[in-house]
């Protein structure tokens, strides 16, 4: 009996010890599962996949097609749009003249005239854009000849001023001097600078090139054609007075003026066309049956040849206009670059050869 009681007491003591042990050491919390990809934070919706997205039809930022449609031109720049370009170039002479070209605001010309009277480009712009009174024009013509002694354009500008003021003898001296100089109207530089101004105003490269080339102003051309007409009139007066030698010399100078205008293919095509017109003016004052040069041709043959050249250019321009709408943006940029580097005729031949059969 005592043995059973002892065993019962031992059993109860063992159970009590187990209960106390479990209370003093609480169970360890279960380890949470490792996070899976499904519970990672998601990227914002606007970010997901942007590194690989490709637009099938990206929106073009170019507007040149709107400008060339139906002979429209690129918009002119405002003084506000030009301010950054002018500041970047410290409002130097060329940047002020570029502002004139791209805005048609003569305030920029007045500023250039005031600040840079000895710059040849400013003298050119003053004479052909400024609509100056005769006395002031004479001063700028002299400035132009001093600033650019090798530029025939300065001699032509001076001769034109003398013809307008009734001093043909002095005009003839300038025309004689023009025979030994080179010729430039600075159009290439102004196109490049205008392109920079349009880009600075926020235009795309293609739009900037289009605008720079279509907005180019060439006010000298009308006045140079007028000079050609005045020389032909002067030659006629020499002929009527019996001075055939002076008449012939004057017409030769007139022809040289026209030939020089049409000689460089890189210049704008309109310049070449005006050159042909000046040559026709001079040839029309000659005997059509008289020999022309040493080629066996007559004056009339030369007139016919100029007429044919003009018709060929007219046909080429029409074909070029028809294919321009077919060009991709990349090809149109190529066309403008070729036009700027090699001339309009070369660029038109390239465009027609590539797109003419399509």
Query: Which has the closest alpha carbon to 277: 315, 228, 344, 318?
Result: 228
Q: For Cα atoms 56, 58, 60, give the angle at the middle one, nearest 5 degrees.
A: 155
Q: Where are the domains of the chain?
A: 73-217+293-355, 218-286
pLDDT at 72: 64
How far apart are alpha carbons 358 and 353 in whole angstroms? 10
- Per residue of the chain (358 residues), give pLDDT as tens: 444 444 444 444 444 444 444 444 444 444 444 444 334 333 333 233 333 333 333 344 676 677 666 556 778 999 999 999 999 999 999 999 999 999 999 999 999 999 999 999 999 999 999 889 988 999 999 999 999 999 999 999 999 999 999 999 999 999 999 988 789 999 999 999 999 999 999 998 898 998 898 888 899 999 999 999 999 999 999 999 999 999 999 999 999 999 999 987 788 899 999 999 999 999 999 999 999 988 889 999 999 999 999 999 999 999 988 888 888 889 989 999 999 999 999 999 999 998 876 5
Q: 3-state secondary structure string, the chain?
A: CHHHHHHHHHHHHHHHHHHHHHHHCCCCCCCCCCCCHHHCCCCCCCCCCCCCCCCCCCCCCCCHHHHHHHHCCCCCCCHHHHHHHHHHCCCCHHHHHHHHHHHCCHHHHHHHHHHCCCCHHHHHHHHHHCCCCHHHHHHHHHHHHHHCCCEHHHHHHHHHHHHHCCCHHHHHHHHHHHHHCECCCCHHHHHHHHHHHHHHCCCCHHHHHHHHHHCCCCCHHHHHHHHHHHHHHHHHHHHHCCCHHHHHHHHHHHHHHHHHHHCCCCCCHHHHHHHHHHHHHHHHCCCCCCEECCCCEEHHHHHHHHHHHHHHHHHHHHHHHHHHCCCCHHHHHHHHHHHHHHCHHHHHHHHHHHHCCC
Helix-helix angle 269-284:299-324, to 10 degrees: 160
- Model-level pTM? 0.78
Q: How far apart are CA 309 and CA 3, in angstroms?
A: 141
Q: What is the pLDDT of residue 50?
A: 34
> In this predicted structure, what is the pLDDT of residue 67?
65
Residue 70 confidence (pLDDT): 59
- Among all chains, which residue has been given the structure tokens 């519970």? 39
pLDDT at site 64:
65
267, 240 in Cβ contact below 8 A?
no
First and final C-alpha spacing in the chain: 123
Give me the pLDDT at residue 134, please.
87
């Amino acid at each position: 009996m005592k043995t059973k009681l002892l065993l019962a007491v031992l059993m109860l003591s063992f159970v009590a010890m187990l209960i106390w042990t479990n209370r003093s050491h609480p169970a360890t919390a279960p380890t949470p599962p490792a996070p899976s990809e499904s519970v990672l934070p998601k990227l914002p919706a606007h970010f997901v996949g942007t590194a690989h997205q490709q637009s099938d039809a990206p929106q073009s930022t170019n507007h040149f097609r709107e400008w060339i449609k139906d002979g429209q031109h690129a918009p002119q720049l405002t003084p506000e749009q030009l301010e950054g370009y002018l500041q970047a170039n410290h409002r130097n002479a060329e940047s002020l003249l570029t502002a004139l070209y791209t805005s048609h605001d003569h305030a920029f010309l007045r500023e250039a005239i005031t600040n840079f009277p000895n710059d040849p480009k400013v003298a050119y712009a003053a004479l052909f854009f400024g609509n100056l009174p005769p006395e002031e024009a004479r001063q700028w013509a002299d400035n132009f000849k001093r600033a650019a002694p090798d530029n025939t354009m300065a001699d032509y500008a001076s001769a034109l001023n003398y013809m307008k003021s009734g001093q043909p003898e002095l005009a003839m001296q300038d025309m004689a001097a023009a025979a030994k100089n080179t010729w430039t109207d600075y159009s290439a530089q102004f196109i490049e600078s205008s392109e920079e101004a349009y880009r600075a105003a926020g235009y795309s490269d293609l739009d900037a090139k289009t605008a720079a080339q279509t907005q180019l102003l060439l006010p000298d051309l009308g006045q140079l054609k007028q000079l050609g007409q005045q020389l032909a009139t002067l030659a006629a007066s020499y002929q009527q007075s019996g001075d055939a030698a002076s008449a012939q010399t004057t017409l030769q100078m007139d022809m040289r003026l026209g030939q020089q205008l049409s000689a460089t293919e890189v210049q704008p095509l309109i310049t070449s066309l005006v050159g042909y017109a000046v040559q026709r003016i001079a040839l029309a004052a000659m005997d059509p049956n008289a020999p022309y040069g040493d080629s066996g041709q007559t004056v009339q043959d030369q007139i016919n040849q100029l007429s044919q050249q003009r018709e060929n250019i007219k046909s080429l321009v029409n074909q070029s206009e028809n294919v321009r709408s077919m060009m991709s943006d990349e090809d149109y940029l190529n066309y403008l670059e070729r036009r700027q580097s090699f001339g309009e005729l070369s660029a038109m031949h390239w465009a027609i050869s590539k797109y003419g059969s399509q």
